[in-house]
């Protein structure tokens, strides 16, 4: 049985990223006088984009390939970064 490796983004994925972008833009606008808050929002947004890109690369790579292993290794630091960022006081 052949697996579908195309995995085009669905409208739900596109809408989710649109909402994330809009929400991040509004948060940056609201925090425009606070550089630390702006940096937090921008850093979190970029980390989420990278995380989802790595997860997509992981899903699309054939089993046992080096590409799949590289994507897996990139996911751990990104998830740790986001967990630490959102759990810190």
Each domain of the chain, given as residue ranges in start order, spans 33-89
Our CA angle for 37, 42, 46, nearest 5°, is: 150
pTM: 0.81
Question: Residue 64 in 3-state DSSP?
Answer: coil
pLDDT, tens digit (0-9, with 9 covering 90-100), for 1-49: 445 556 677 888 889 999 999 999 999 999 999 999 999 999 999 999 9
Within 10 A of 37 (CB to CB), how many other CB atoms are there?
14
> Are the beta carbons of 31 and 37 closer than 8 angstroms?
yes
Within 10 A of 32 (CB to CB), how many other CB atoms are there?
9
The stretch 46-59 carries a mean pLDDT of 92
């Amino acid at each position: 049985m052949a697996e579908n490796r195309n995995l085009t983004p669905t409208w739900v994925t596109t809408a989710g990223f649109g909402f994330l972008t809009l929400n991040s833009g509004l948060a940056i606008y609201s925090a425009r006088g606070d550089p630390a808050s702006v940096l937090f929002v921008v850093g979190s947004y970029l980390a989420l984009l990278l995380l989802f890109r790595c997860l997509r690369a992981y899903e699309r790579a054939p089993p046992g390939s080096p590409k799949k292993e590289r994507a897996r290794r990139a996911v751990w630091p990104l998830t740790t970064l986001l967990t630490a960022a959102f759990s810190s006081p």
